[in-house]
Amino acid sequence: MEIVCIGEIFNNDVGGPTYEAIYLGNELKREYGGRLTLIIAGKDLDKYSGKLSIQGVDSIILLDHPSLELYEQVAYTRAIAGEIKAISPQIVIAPYTSQGMDLLPSIAHEIGYTLVTYCQSLKFTGNGWIATRVIYGGKLLEDVEVDDRNIVATIRPGDFPQLKQETGSISVLKKSPEIFQGKIRPIGTVKPSLEDIDITKYDVLVSVGRGIGSRENLEMADELAKILNGALACSRPIADMGWLPKTRQVGSSAKTVKPKVYIALGISGATNHINGMKNSNTIISVNKDPFAPIFEISHYGVVADINDLLPLLLEELKK
């Protein structure tokens, strides 16, 4: 089986989810045999070839061009799709990161493969593929089937381990692709300007979600964090509403944290959030929905409304 993994450069480094795609590619290689080719596009890629030479990867194609410094959909699509067509793989695996979400539908369309997003497992049936997907915010799973021997499968960052065992003996082919200019013009990348504490440095995080109910209740959560010498963090909806700055948002698309204790208050546990905190030592969750997915990865769970519980908890801790 010919397997292609598409990696990415993020913030002047190899993006972590690239190693998850390689992990899944290796699982398929073990099951069905074959070759794994890693393709990556960007500028000045030579410096990453060591970090990309991972055991299990059979060859690496670096699509290197000054015009590929900033991600632009059409240039990236044409460059990468050209290489994929030459290999004609049965499966293309890529992380559905912010870049992947933009790029992979375009590549799949260009090469005429069906794309299945957020695959958790993949099985080849001989005539097609079966994938398992997590849906409804983690409350349901679905097995889907594509009746085609060729597919593009994308994965959610944080769903798989990162395969990072480096080895020296992989053939690296560097190419300067022809650049096709699209109608979308990249202008630049902006870094967050906000000065804030770094939540990844704290032993205790008190993290609030939609279930906190009102902005006023944030004060109580903050008081809890202070009592425990921790910091206040949040899930996406709280940052979206502007109740806390983006720098406090936990999730695989925001900040990945690993504190000693993670206390989740009113967080249901969307996969993105869970992938950003599931490796915490102890996870304690409070949610009024007994079916909230966060309980599945928690060590202790309390079914209660934050509004009722939090004042009582603060009283108890102050005793």
Partner 1 sequence: MDIVVLVKATPVLEEAKITDDEKNLDTSELKFFMNETDTYALEEAILKKEKYGGRVTVITLADSEIENDVNDMIYESYAKGADDGIIIEYSGIYMDPYAKAKIISDFLKTIKFDLILLGAQSTDTSYSLLGQLIARYLDLPYTTLVSSVELNGNKLKVVRELEEGLQAVYEMPLPSLLTIQSGINTPRYPPFVKIRNARSRPIKKVSIENIIRDPQSLVKVKRRRLYIPPSKGAANILKGEPEELAARLAEIIKGVVPR
Phi and psi at residue 227, to the nearest 5°:
-55, -35
Min. distance of Cβ 47 from partner 1 in angstroms? 20
Secondary structure letter of residue 121 according to DSSP: E
Min. distance of Cβ 292 from partner 1 in angstroms? 9
Min. distance of Cβ 218 from partner 1 in angstroms? 17
Min. distance of Cβ 5 from partner 1 in angstroms? 19
Min. distance of Cβ 193 from partner 1 in angstroms? 10
By beta-carbon proximity to partner 1, the closer residue of 70 and 179 is: 70
Measured CA to CA, the distance from residue 68 to residue 219 in angstroms comes to: 46
Measured CA to CA, the distance from residue 152 to residue 111 in angstroms comes to: 10
By beta-carbon proximity to partner 1, the closer residue of 4 and 134 is: 134
By beta-carbon proximity to partner 1, the closer residue of 174 and 226 is: 226
Lookup: tokens for 160: 């798989």
Min. distance of Cβ 310 from partner 1 in angstroms? 9
Lookup: tokens for 6: 């598409």
Measured CA to CA, the distance from residue 234 to residue 245 in angstroms comes to: 9
* Contacts of residue 92, Cβ cutoff 8 Å, sequence gap at least 6: 4, 5, 6, 84, 107, 108, 111, 113, 151, 152, 153
Measured CA to CA, the distance from residue 148 to residue 303 in angstroms comes to: 45
Secondary structure letter of residue 244 according to DSSP: S
Label residue 10 exposed, middle or buried (CB < 10 Å: 0-12, 13-18, 19+): middle
Min. distance of Cβ 135 from partner 1 in angstroms? 5
By beta-carbon proximity to partner 1, the closer residue of 174 and 311 is: 311
Q: How far apart are the first and last CA of the chain?
A: 64
Measured CA to CA, the distance from residue 286 to residue 298 in angstroms comes to: 10
By beta-carbon proximity to partner 1, the closer residue of 62 and 254 is: 254
By beta-carbon proximity to partner 1, the closer residue of 58 and 180 is: 180
By beta-carbon proximity to partner 1, the closer residue of 59 and 106 is: 106
Min. distance of Cβ 170 from partner 1 in angstroms? 27
> Helix or strand or coil: residue 256?
coil
